[in-house]
Amino acid sequence: MRKLVVMALLVVSASTVAQKMKVSQGDIKNLKDISTYTLEFDYSNLEIPKYDSEDDFLADKMAKREEKEAGKGEEFKKSWFADREDRYEPKFIESFNKRFDDGEVSVSMDDAAYTMKIHSNKIYAGYNVGVVRKNAEIDATITVYETANPSNILLEGKYVDVQGYGAMGNDYNSGYRISECYAKLAKNIAGFIIKKALK
C-alpha cells in the first residue's frame, strides 16, 4: 500500500514540475499592465510521437479507418484539422478567461495591442478503449509580443507534457481529450500571470 502511495505522489509531483513554463526570453513581469491579448494559434512543424511527421500520422490513421469503412479516413482527416478551430481554441479561451473573475485579463481572437501566440510543438492524442486509457498530451511554446512590432517579445517560454483528461474517464473522442490539454495549458498560463505578473 505504501509503495502505491509513493508511486502516486511521484506521478503527481512529476506532473506538477512539467506544468511550469520554462522561460527562454523576456520576463513574466512585462505582462503586468496588459489586460487584453489577441490570440494566435500556430500548428506548423507539429510533432506526433511515434511518427516522422504529421502527414505520416494522418496517412496511417486514415488507411486504418478506410480498411474498416470507406470514407472514414477522409472523415478523420477533416475532423483532425477542424478540431483546432472548433474545440482546442475555444477551450483555451474559455479556460483562460474564467480564471479572472472580474475580467481584468482576457484573451480572444479580436485585435489587441498585444498578441499571445500559442505554437503547438507536439500533440499526442492518447487513447481510450474502455478497459485502458492514456491521457492526451501537448507541448507548446508561448510567445507574447507587441502586435504592431512582433520583434518586441515580452515573454517567451515552453510548456511540456501538458495532459488533458476529463469526463470522468469517458473521453473516447480524441478531439475532446486534446481539447482538455488546451484547457489545462490556458489554466497554467493564467495561473502564472496571476501569481507572478499581477502581484
pLDDT value, residue 3: 45
Please tell me the predicted confidence (pLDDT) of residue 129: 79
Return all residues near 156 (Cβ < 8 A) that are at least 6 apart.
23, 24, 25, 26, 141, 142, 143, 144
pLDDT at residue 83, as a whole number: 97
Give this prediction's pTM: 0.88
pLDDT at res. 171: 65
Euclidean distance between CA atoms 85 and 128, whole angstroms: 23
Domain extent listing, the chain: 21-197
In the prediction, which pLDDT does 167 show?
Answer: 58
CB 187 within 8 A of CB 95: yes
Q: Would you state the pLDDT for residue 11?
A: 41
How does pLDDT run across 100-139, given as a tens digit for each residue?
999 999 999 999 999 999 999 999 999 887 778 889 999 9
Reference 46, options 38, 56, 36, 37; nearest CA is 56
Cell digits of residue 5: 502511495
pLDDT at 174: 86
Contact assessment for residue 29 and residue 196, using Cβ atoms and an 8 Å cutoff: yes
CA angle, 143 as apex, 94 and 107 as ends, to 5°? 25
Q: Which of 103, 91, 98 is nearest to 39 (CA)?
A: 91
- Ranges of the chain with pLDDT below 70: 1-18, 166-171
